[in-house]
């Protein structure tokens, strides 16, 4: 698959951004006929995609569309897709398949697909031919041009397909409709240069490119002034933030500048690649109480041989050294990870190495995935693909081990008081309220609506595997 390494990114010019604003106004005039129009945005995939969906929703809102959660009520539906595993693609395709009937009932309905799945030409062509009721698609790098794309769909009554192509362009000033007034995603960079051999992301998100620090700081300042209490900085590998600025502002510098903004808020970030997570970053965290005591550091495997095959660059030893340094500087830090089970060629011994690194690292939380073959990535061509019977047996062993460790890590907090940002009624326990600690652990307690979006102190009375139970003090 084409790497498009030779295409340095650039920033959108003010004229280009203004052009999108003009298309937005034209659409607003076209749809304003006295009946409110509704837009539904469906999201699959990672936090980057959630942040992108908030920008898609923001652009649609600026055109005059009201937000709806119900596809059947919508005048426009956009499905923002993920390609990281086959399952995610299949789900997006199957939900989109269901819209055929909606369109049959309401022919004026406009349906679009965005995101990672339609960033490449071949899957875009597949949609074009197999899903005739899809009006338009746009890849991740074309997101900011949605007003222009939609205008062509609406005025020329033709289908428009825009996979990523040409130079990736980073655009500021795209409107955002945020889901939560107290917690915000802030993308600080786009793309990935790492080409881990199993991963589709670099092919669908393009090369790494950072937003200017001034733009990020202005966004965070505005969010904090509006009462936002938690900012999560997003990038596929935030540790390589600012590489193109030649030492002017790296990720640790950016964090330190964000912490200078006045106000009662915390900053989180994800994701970090272990090869780039520096001592400077860890020292900056330790020195700044506004930075949450949480670190998501995907290890993927505990076997040095597999890490090499994955092109992860670090070793289990250097990874564990990093974790030791973090815990030395911040003893109460919560560490989480991602692990892939059944990468091609993974032997029982390699898998045992993964179990042993989980035991040594003692993660607070783990996201584990069975390897999914992504066509076009180097790992898809590797011999010794691990059969499902084996991955199916390994996976629950890993989960059982992590559950034991999660509980042990949570038990440490019993009888201690933790500061918690209140989210609202718990989805799983509707009689309780739910919030998150600095370490991003879920806490359940008796509360009320007036506490939503506020920090409260909670004494932990009971620890469970996936949550802490407590009472307000």
Q: Is 46 in the site for ligand F3S (CB under 6 A)?
A: yes
Q: Does 45 contact ligand F3S by CB under 6 A?
A: yes
* Position among 314, 371, 413, 445 found at the interface with ligand SAH (CB under 6 A): 371
Nearest to 209 by CA among 149, 179, 176, 164: 164
189 binds ligand F3S (CB under 6 A): no
Does 268 sit near ligand F3S (CB under 6 A)?
Answer: no
Which residue's CB is nearer to ligand SAH, number 384 or number 428?
384
With the C-alpha atoms ordered 277, 279, 282, 288, is the resulting torsion angle positive or negative? negative
Helix boundaries (H) for 106-193:
121-130, 146-156
Q: Does 51 bind ligand F3S (CB under 6 A)?
A: no
Which residues, 192 to 231, sit near ligand SF4 by CB under 6 A? 192, 194-196, 199, 201-202
Q: Where are the alpha helices (DSSP H) in 371-472?
A: 388-411
Task: Give the closest residue to 339 by CA, choosing from 347, 349, 351.
Answer: 351
- Pick from 81, 69, 71, 77: nearest CA to 44: 81
Region of 148-156, 364-372, 429-437, 439-447 interacting with ligand SAH (CB under 6 A): 364-372
Q: Which two tokens stand for residue 419?
A: 């500061």
CB of 424 to ligand F3S, least distance (A): 25
Q: At what angle do helices 213-225 and 251-259 cross, to 10 degrees?
A: 30
202 binds, among ligand SAH, ligand F3S, ligand SF4, none (CB under 5 to 8 A by kind): ligand SF4
> Residue 301, interface with ligand SAH (CB under 6 A)?
no
- Contacts with ligand SF4 by CB under 6 A: the residue count is 10
With vertex at residue 265, the alpha carbon angle to CA 327 and CA 245, rounded to the nearest 5 degrees, is 75
Strands 183-187, 230-234: pairing is parallel
310 binds, among ligand SAH, ligand F3S, ligand SF4, none (CB under 5 to 8 A by kind): none
Q: Which secondary structure element, helix H or strand E, spans residue 36, and what is its range? A: none
Instruction: Round to whole Å and give the CA distance between 313 and 322.
Output: 14
Fill in the DSSP letter of residue 300.
B
Q: Is 237 in the site for ligand SF4 (CB under 6 A)?
A: yes
The site map against ligand SF4 for 148-187 (x = CB under 6 A) is ----------------------------------------
Task: Name 428's Cβ contacts closer than 8 Å, sequence gap at least 6.
Answer: none
- The DSSP 8-state label assigned to residue 442 in this structure reads E
Bridge-based pairing of strands 433-437 and 417-425 is: antiparallel
The residue within the footprint of ligand F3S, chosen from 201, 233, 249, 358 (CB under 6 A), is 201
Q: Is the peptide bond before 65 cis (omega within 30 degrees of 0)?
A: no
The site that binds ligand SAH (CB under 6 A) totals a number of residues, namely: 18
Q: Is residue 38 part of the contact set for ligand F3S (CB under 6 A)?
A: no
Question: Interface residues with ligand SF4 (CB under 6 A)?
Answer: 192, 194-196, 199, 201-202, 236-237, 273
Which residues of the shown chain bind ligand F3S in the complex (CB under 6 A)? 45-46, 48-49, 82-84, 116, 200-201, 204-205
**Interface residues with ligand SAH (CB under 6 A)?**
84-85, 192, 198-199, 201, 236-237, 271, 273, 298, 300, 338, 340, 369, 371-372, 374
């Amino acid at each position: 698959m084409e790497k498009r390494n030779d295409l340095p990114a650039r920033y959108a010019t003010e004229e280009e951004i203004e052009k999108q604003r003009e298309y937005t106004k034209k659409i607003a005039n076209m749809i304003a006929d006295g009946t409110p129009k509704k837009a539904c945005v469906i999201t699959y995939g990672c936090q980057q995609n959630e942040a992108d969906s908030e920008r898609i929703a923001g652009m649609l809102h600026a055109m005059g569309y009201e937000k709806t959660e119900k596809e059947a009520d919508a005048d426009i539906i956009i499905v923002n897709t993920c390609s990281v595993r086959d399952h995610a693609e299949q789900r997006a395709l199957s939900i989109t398949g269901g819209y055929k009937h909606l369109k049959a009932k309401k022919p004026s309905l406009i349906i679009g697909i965005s995101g990672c799945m339609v960033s490449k030409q071949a899957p875009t062509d597949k949609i074009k031919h197999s899903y005739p009721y899809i009006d338009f698609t746009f890849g991740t790098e074309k997101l900011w041009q949605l007003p222009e794309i939609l205008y062509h769909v609406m005025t020329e009554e033709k289908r428009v397909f825009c996979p990523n192509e040409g130079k990736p362009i980073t655009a500021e000033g795209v409107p955002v409709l945020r889901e939560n007034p107290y917690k915000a995603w802030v993308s600080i960079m786009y793309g990935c240069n790492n080409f881990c051999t199993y991963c589709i992301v670099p092919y669908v998100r393009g090369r790494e490119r950072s937003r200017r620090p001034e733009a990020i700081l202005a966004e965070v300042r505005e969010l904090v002034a509006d009462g936002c209490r938690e900012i999560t900085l997003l990038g596929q590998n935030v540790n390589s933030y600012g590489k193109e600025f030649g030492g002017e502002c790296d990720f640790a510098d950016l964090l330190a500048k964000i912490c200078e903004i006045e106000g009662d808020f915390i900053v989180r970030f994800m994701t970090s690649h272990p090869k780039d997570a520096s001592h400077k970053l860890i020292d900056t965290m330790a020195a700044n109480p506004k930075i949450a005591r949480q670190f998501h550091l995907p290890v993927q495997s505990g076997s040095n041989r597999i890490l090499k095959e994955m092109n992860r660059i670090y070793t289990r030893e250097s990874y564990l050294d990093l974790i030791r340094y973090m815990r030395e500087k911040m003893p109460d830090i919560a560490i989480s990870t991602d692990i892939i089970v059944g990468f091609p060629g993974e032997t029982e011994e390699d898998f045992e190495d993964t179990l042993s690194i989980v035991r040594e690292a003692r993660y607070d939380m783990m996201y584990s995935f069975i390897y999914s073959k992504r066509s076009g990535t180097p790992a898809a061509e590797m011999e010794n693909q691990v059969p499902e019977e084996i991955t199916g047996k390994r996976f629950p062993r890993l989960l059982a081990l992590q559950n034991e460790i999660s509980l042990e890590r949570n038990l440490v907090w019993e009888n201690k008081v933790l500061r918690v940002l209140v989210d609202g009624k718990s989805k799983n326990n509707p009689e309780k309220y739910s919030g998150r600690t600095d370490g991003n652990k879920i806490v359940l307690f008796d509360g009320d609506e007036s506490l939503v979006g506020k920090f409260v102190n909670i004494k932990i009375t009971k620890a469970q595997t996936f949550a802490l139970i407590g009472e307000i003090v």
